[in-house]
Amino acid sequence: MQFAGKVAIVTGAGSGIGRATARAFAEAGAKVVAADLSEAVNETVAGREGMIAVHMDAGDEADVERTVALAVDTFGGLDIFYANAGISGGATGIFDTPTELWTEVLRVNLIGPALAIKHAGPKIVERGGGAIICTASVAGLRSGAGGPAYSASKAGVINLVQTAAQQFAGSGVRVNAICPGLIETGMTERAFTYARENGKEDKLGRLNPLRRAGQPEEIARVALFLASDAASYVNGQAWVVDGGLSSSHPVTRQEFGKPAF
């Protein structure tokens, strides 16, 4: 999977999956715009050729449009957009989630990818085609893997890529989603830190058949595949990368009126 001559934008590139993927694209020869709201995105690109950092709010249309324009103006076009940025929304139940939190989670997690498709898609068409990838989640497949706002937003992402794939018909643009399971990222750092500090690291990922959590690089490799010519006939799909968790989605059942987590 080589990307010499290709230009990619990766959002949420300040840490975790986004950082691993942005670096992987660059190592494979692509020119990369690493985008994130956090200053940590500067660390992602530090000392690495062919990469530039931009501070961007993934759910803000002006920021997305500006980032796409930056990639085109700096590198001459755009071939790949990985809409990876997202927020968790916390571990609250449906009856405890404020409307404001629902709004913010949907703005970043669902409207963000929609804006990426809207503004990056036409530029990718101008290059003769390419790939758009969105980070969904196993939480978007069924209940039991995340809070209600997060889960609903990721379910929306899965349908979004299916709808977008149809609307790009004949353009050469493919749109797919990745559904990670438990991955060690900034979003899950608290759980990993707690487990290690309390001697429970072996419990992380115990519900999936591989009996371990995943690493960002394992998602990055799938992102590169979906962006590559090797995936030339993969379109409108949600690729699950979760160690087998979603083959059953085992959970501890919640009882009505009791805390969700």
Domain that holds residue 179: 7-183+215-245
Q: Which stretches of the chain are DSSP H helices?
A: 16-27, 41-45, 61-75, 99-106, 112-126, 148-167, 189-197, 216-227
Is residue 190 assigned to a domain?
no
Residues 6+ apart with CB under 8 A from 170: none
Q: CATH number, domain at 82?
A: 3.40.50.720
110-140 residue pLDDT tens: 999 999 999 999 999 999 999 999 999 999 9
Burial of 249 (0-12, 13-18, 19+ CB in 10 A): middle
Is residue 191 assigned to a domain?
no
The predicted model scores a pTM of 0.92
Q: How far apart are CA 110 and CA 112, in angstroms?
A: 5
Is residue 202 assigned to a domain?
no
Q: Which one is catalytic: 82, 150, 194, 233?
A: 150
Q: What is the CA radius of gyration of the chain?
A: 18
150 is catalytic: yes
Q: Work out the end-to-end distance of the chain between its first and last CA atoms, rounded to an integer number of angstroms.
A: 41
141-171 residue pLDDT tens: 988 888 999 999 999 999 999 999 999 999 9
Beta bridge partners of 9: 33, 81
